[in-house]
Amino acid sequence: MSELINIAEIFGENVFDDATMQERLPKKVYKDLKKMIEEGKELDLATADVIAHEMKEWAIEKGATHYTHWFQPLTGTTAEKHDSFISAPMESGKVLMSFSGKELIKGEPDASSFPSGGLRATFEARGYTAWDCTSPAFVRKDAAGATLCIPTAFCSYTGEALDQKTPLLRSMEAINEQSLRLIRLFGNNTAKKVTPSVGAEQEYFLVDAKKFHERKDLIYTGRTLFGAMPPKGQELDDHYFGTIRQRIASFMKDVNEELWKMGVTAKTQHNEVAPAQHELAPIYAKANVAVDHNQIIMQTLKRVASEHGMKCLLHEKPFAGVNGSGKHNNWSLTTDEGKNLLDPGRTPHENIQFLLVLTCILKAVDEHAALLRESAADPGNDHRLGANEAPPAIVSVFLGEQLEDVLEQLITTGEATHSLNTGKLQTGVRTLPDLAKDTSDRNRTSPFAFTGNKFEFRMVGSRDSVAASNIVLNTIVADAFAQACDILEKAEDFEKAVHDLIKQYATEHYRIVFNGNGYADEWIQEAARRGLPNIRSMVDAIPALVTEDTISLFEKYHVFTRAELESRAEIKYENYAKAINIEARTMIDMASKQIIPAIIRYTKTLADTVNSVREAGADFSVQAQLLGQISELLAETKKALDVLVKETETAAAMEEGEAQARFYHDTVFPAMEALRAPVDSLEMIVDKEAWPMPSYGDLMFEV
Ligand code: ADP
Ligand code: MG
């Protein structure tokens, strides 16, 4: 058996965390840094120098040779440039290790090749990375040795955000400020900070590395572009399950160990619905830390999979017809006193605050459903959202029976006097019912579900960063809180005003509540009747980023400027066009160089067989019929290939932007589907030995 792990001993051993800083930094420096972390105060260079020095010493003890400003440009992944600690050699020929405060707090990567959507052209060519001291630095060990990773934000010279981190931090400010206003109204004068808590559950597939390398589509696009369904699909066979388990288990053990060392609280792991699909969830953390940790998780899954002779597929839909992968984004609001604002609480007083928070969230999600949907848009996610998969593209909120009943009472009678399950009756006119915690059940089809003391946003794609969704959530809820506070702070009779407001919000936004089956066709019609947007593709979703409503919302809370939003929309159109272009070209390549040649060879074998069987005087009808069928599909394949070649050329020649992205979506994508169909039919009837790549069955069941 492999070595056993002592979690307590290794957890966070490669993190420059609070305990390490307290132990290693001079008292005053530690205090200054804490102040900066807690209050957002600026750090002076002298203090930064001391921190940098200690950080370097610590990292070198861990074996680090390099440091990197680790940042999250708008590519969906992370970027880093490594610098070694060595400084110019001394006369003696020896080198010194150096790392200054300036190098810690600010970096200047060659930013020109990161997407900026025209921002840098208009402002300034350079980009800067700035230390996000609220997310701890860590040492990462891999084939490159050990590297000190410093989480940073990435901005242009004039401060425009070129990354995910900057707006996320800004949105955390916004929700903090408005949440504090709200809890003050309910008499909390002691809490100093409210932080969004996020727990992101990561789904992924594992396939054998050797088979992966035999598929160009997986190599270039992360998903299969051809592939007939195996005889066995979703229903997992116990035998297969048994055989994969040890290999996967030893992979998971290593993943956990690596993550724990980097301070990532890997908590739950299990097999998912589809064969070869799994999930990993950490314990929730502050939103910006959770976003960083999710990136670390994705990187670690990939790296460790390679070490185990496997490949980790993070794509939202690696296999057509098989369950896709997402990332459930669990979200709540926590005060620095440890209170969760989404916890219904024990007393009616807490319940009132909770019901206000809840109805504000309903209002926020209802009013900005399209924006929330957009936050989860990426090319891969088009295969989940709006494609009869979990969850549907329509944003709705699942509350569970008890909460829904409370809202119904509020709406119909103006007051809620009892709650289901507890059956407890409250007397006072304006009193709201006692709510029991964790009464919602597990509606798996809802894109936005209340699960006891948090909301779970399930639209985010498995490969995407969770930053965008949390930026939107934080900001729209901050705005709803602000609007409520504007009214309530002026109210003469607070109790009556808050009661009326809860009722008003519940009534006005009840249409967003849906507890039924989100996959059902009836829901699509019902949602249309309710006027809820059903945005089926990324290209259709992007415009929500730049409506006047969105722009004024984000500008009001200083999360995004108009220019930043416009640049983001532009980048998204480009990303979409690029993704589909790569997929189309990969299909063209595979069809022209692998599939068609293989079929041609196979038809030759068949034709030879037909001839020799005929010469031998036997019945050759089966061979002839098969040859006919295959030749027909081959002709169809060639025709579809020619169309795809032509449309892809047209698309690639277009100017970058919305029209090009739409063309890829409306014309190129259907041409890809048209090519795939005859090829998948061929795969079903052609000799397996003749097929030029591993099948779905090979990939999913033989890990
Ligand atoms: P499930 O989705 O099956 O209900 P859990 O409730 O255990 O699973 O948690 C899923 C994720 O939600 C985990 O990452 C967990 O840490 C996180 N989570 C739990 N409570 C909260 C909370 N109050 N706020 C944000 N995330 C939370
Ligand atoms: Mg979940």
Which tens digits make up the pLDDT trace of 282-336? 999 999 999 999 999 999 999 999 999 999 999 999 999 888 999 999 999 999 9
> Which residues pair with residue 452 across a beta bridge?
none
- Choose the most confident range, by mean pLDDT, from 68-77, 134-143, 415-424, 555-564: 555-564
Does residue 433 line the site of ligand 1, with CB under 6 A?
A: no
Mutate to test the pocket of ligand 1, among 454, 457, 460, 477 (most ligand atoms within 8 A of CB): 454
- Between CA 562 and CA 553 the distance in angstroms is 10
Task: Give the ligand 1 atom nearest the CA of 442.
Answer: 4
Read off the pLDDT of each residue in 371-392 and give the average, rounded to a whole number: 89
Q: Whose CA is nearest to atom 11 of ligand 1?
A: 199
Cα 199 to middle of ligand 1, angstroms: 6
The DSSP output letter for 383 is G
pLDDT tier for residue 489 given thresholds of 50, 70 and 90: very high
Task: Give the ligand 1 atom nearest the CA of 342.
Answer: 23
> Which residues pair with residue 700 across a beta bridge?
none
Exposed / middle / buried, residue 428 (Cβ in 10 Å: 0-12, 13-18, 19+): exposed
> Which residues pair with residue 327 across a beta bridge?
202
- What per-residue confidence (pLDDT) applies to 157? 76
pLDDT higher at 467 or 108: 467
Cα 397 to middle of ligand 1, angstroms: 17
- What per-residue confidence (pLDDT) applies to 117? 74
Does residue 306 line the site of ligand 1, with CB under 6 A?
A: no
- Between CA 226 and CA 673 the distance in angstroms is 9
Does residue 199 line the site of ligand 1, with CB under 6 A?
A: yes
The full 3-state SS of 108-156, as one line of letters, equals CCCHHHCCCCCHHHHCCCCEEEEECCCCCCEEEEECCEEEEEEEEEEEE
pLDDT higher at 131 or 39: 131
Strand 82-84 with 145-156, pairing: unpaired
DSSP characters for 441-455? ---TT-SEEE-SSSE
Cα 393 to middle of ligand 2, angstroms: 18
Task: Give the ligand 1 atom nearest the CA of 331.
Answer: 25
Q: Are 369 and 418 in contact (CB under 8 A)?
A: no
Ligand nearest to the CA of 458: 2
Cα 442 to middle of ligand 2, angstroms: 9
Query: Helices 548-556 and 562-590: crossing angle, nearest 10°?
Result: 120
Does residue 195 line the site of ligand 1, with CB under 6 A?
A: no
User: In the structure encoding, which two tokens stand for residue 304, read together?
Assistant: 């460790």
User: In the structure encoding, which two tokens stand for residue 60, read together?
Assistant: 């070198």
Q: Where are the alpha helices (DSSP H) in 329-381?
A: 348-367, 369-375
Q: Are 569 and 546 in contact (CB under 8 A)?
A: yes
Q: How far is CA 521 from CA 383, 413, 525, 532, 538, in A?
A: 18, 32, 7, 15, 21
Mutate to test the pocket of ligand 1, among 284, 339, 456, 469 (most ligand atoms within 8 A of CB): 284
- 33-47, 141-155, 610-624, 666-680, range with the lowest pLDDT: 33-47
Residue 311, phi-psi category: left (phi > 0), alpha (psi -120 to 50), beta (remainder): beta
Q: Are 199 and 291 in contact (CB under 8 A)?
A: no
- Between CA 112 and CA 106 the distance in angstroms is 17
Exposed / middle / buried, residue 616 (Cβ in 10 Å: 0-12, 13-18, 19+): exposed
Q: Whose CA is nearest to atom 24 of ligand 1?
A: 332
Task: Give the ligand 1 atom nearest the CA of 201.
Answer: 14
pLDDT tier for residue 136 given thresholds of 50, 70 and 90: very high
Cα 279 to middle of ligand 2, angstroms: 10
Q: Where are the alpha helices (DSSP H) in 204-237?
A: 209-212, 216-221
Is-cis flag, bond preceding 115, omega within 30? no
pLDDT tier for residue 123 given thresholds of 50, 70 and 90: very low
Read off the pLDDT of each residue in 671-678 and give the average, rounded to a whole number: 98
Query: What is the dihedral angle through the alpha carbons of 72, 74, 79, 81, rounded to the nearest 10 degrees?
Result: -110
Q: How far is CA 484 from CA 29, 413, 497, in A?
A: 41, 22, 10
Task: Give the ligand 1 atom nearest the CA of 340.
Answer: 23
Does residue 279 line the site of ligand 1, with CB under 6 A?
A: no
pLDDT at 1 over 60: no
Task: Give the ligand 1 atom nearest the CA of 332.
Answer: 24
Q: Report pLDDT digits (tens) over 325-367.
A: 999 999 999 999 999 999 987 766 668 899 999 999 999 999 9
- Between CA 158 and CA 152 the distance in angstroms is 17
- What per-residue confidence (pLDDT) applies to 441? 52
User: In the structure encoding, which two tokens stand for residue 420, read together?
Assistant: 């289901």
Does residue 144 line the site of ligand 1, with CB under 6 A?
A: no
Read off the pLDDT of each residue in 29-39 and give the average, rounded to a whole number: 86
Does residue 196 line the site of ligand 1, with CB under 6 A?
A: no
- What per-residue confidence (pLDDT) applies to 422? 47
Q: Are 118 and 104 in contact (CB under 8 A)?
A: no
Q: How far is CA 384 from CA 519, 536, 664, in A?
A: 12, 9, 18
Task: Give the ligand 1 atom nearest the CA of 451.
Answer: 4
- What per-residue confidence (pLDDT) applies to 428? 38
User: In the structure encoding, which two tokens stand for residue 451, read together?
Assistant: 């699960």
Does residue 568 line the site of ligand 1, with CB under 6 A?
A: no
Cα 74 to middle of ligand 1, angstroms: 27
Q: Are 361 and 478 in contact (CB under 8 A)?
A: no
Prediction pTM value: 0.93
Does residue 281 line the site of ligand 1, with CB under 6 A?
A: yes
pLDDT higher at 121 or 8: 8
- Between CA 662 and CA 656 the distance in angstroms is 11
Read off the pLDDT of each residue in 660-673 and give the average, rounded to a whole number: 98
Read off the pLDDT of each residue in 624-638 and give the average, rounded to a whole number: 97
Cα 200 to middle of ligand 1, angstroms: 8
Does residue 622 line the site of ligand 1, with CB under 6 A?
A: no
Read off the pLDDT of each residue in 571-598 and give the average, rounded to a whole number: 97
CB atoms within 10 A of CB 623: 20
- What per-residue confidence (pLDDT) applies to 122? 47
Share of the chain above pLDDT 70, in %: 91
Task: Give the ligand 1 atom nearest the CA of 200.
Answer: 14
User: In the structure encoding, which two tokens stand for residue 401, read together?
Assistant: 């029976």
Strand 64-70 with 145-156, pairing: parallel
Q: Report pLDDT digits (tens) over 193-245.
A: 999 999 999 999 999 999 999 999 999 999 999 999 877 655 554 434 455 57
- What per-residue confidence (pLDDT) applies to 233? 59
pLDDT tier for residue 246 given thresholds of 50, 70 and 90: confident
Nearest to 148 by CA among 35, 229, 61, 278: 61
> What are the E-state strand segments in 293-337?
310-313, 327-335
Q: Report pLDDT digits (tens) over 424-456.
A: 434 333 455 656 555 555 667 889 999 989 999
With H, G, I as helix, E, B as strand and everything else as coil, classify residue 693: coil
Ligand nearest to the CA of 328: 2
Share of the chain above pLDDT 90, in %: 69
- Between CA 283 and CA 299 the distance in angstroms is 18
Does residue 116 line the site of ligand 1, with CB under 6 A?
A: no
Q: Whose CA is nearest to atom 6 of ligand 1?
A: 451
Does residue 457 line the site of ligand 1, with CB under 6 A?
A: no
Q: Where are the alpha helices (DSSP H) in 427-508?
A: 467-488, 494-508
- Between CA 305 and CA 292 the distance in angstroms is 20
- What per-residue confidence (pLDDT) applies to 424? 43
Cα 282 to middle of ligand 2, angstroms: 11
Does residue 49 line the site of ligand 1, with CB under 6 A?
A: no
- What per-residue confidence (pLDDT) applies to 434? 59
Cα 324 to middle of ligand 2, angstroms: 15
Please report the domains of the chain, with CATH numbers, ordered by start residue: 7-162 (3.10.20.70), 171-224+238-560 (3.30.590.10), 576-701 (1.20.120.1560)
Spell 455-483 as b/e; 16+ CB within 10 A means b: bbbbbbbbbbbbbbbbbbbbbbbbbbbbb
Report phi then psi at 463, rounded to 5.
-95, -15
Amino acid letter, residue 492: E
Does residue 265 line the site of ligand 1, with CB under 6 A?
A: no
Does residue 550 line the site of ligand 1, with CB under 6 A?
A: no
If you average pLDDT over every residue of the chain, what do you get?
A: 89
Nearest to 336 by CA among 136, 39, 29, 133: 39
Cα 418 to middle of ligand 2, angstroms: 29
Does residue 264 line the site of ligand 1, with CB under 6 A?
A: no
Task: Quote the longest CA-to-CA distance of the chain.
Answer: 102
Does residue 284 line the site of ligand 1, with CB under 6 A?
A: yes
- Between CA 512 and CA 532 the distance in angstroms is 7
Cα 291 to middle of ligand 1, angstroms: 15
Read off the pLDDT of each residue in 63-87 and give the average, rounded to a whole number: 87
Read off the pLDDT of each residue in 264-284 and give the average, rounded to a whole number: 87
Give Cβ neighbours of residue 698 (< 8 Å, ≥ 6 apart).
211
pLDDT higher at 143 or 179: 179
Nearest to 536 by CA among 617, 457, 459: 459
Does residue 453 line the site of ligand 1, with CB under 6 A?
A: yes
- What per-residue confidence (pLDDT) applies to 543? 98
Find the length of the chain.
703
- Between CA 542 and CA 402 the distance in angstroms is 36
pLDDT at 638 over 90: yes
Nearest to 261 by CA among 311, 296, 313: 296
Handedness of CA 544, 549, 551, 555 (dihedral sign): negative
With H, G, I as helix, E, B as strand and everything else as coil, classify residue 368: coil
User: In the structure encoding, which two tokens stand for residue 298, read together?
Assistant: 């994705």
User: In the structure encoding, which two tokens stand for residue 456, read together?
Assistant: 């779970």
pLDDT tier for residue 78 given thresholds of 50, 70 and 90: confident
pLDDT at 528 over 60: yes
Q: Report pLDDT digits (tens) over 542-560.
A: 999 999 999 999 999 999 9
Mutate to test the pocket of ligand 1, among 203, 264, 286, 330 (most ligand atoms within 8 A of CB): 330
The DSSP output letter for 385 is T
Q: Are 380 and 396 in contact (CB under 8 A)?
A: no
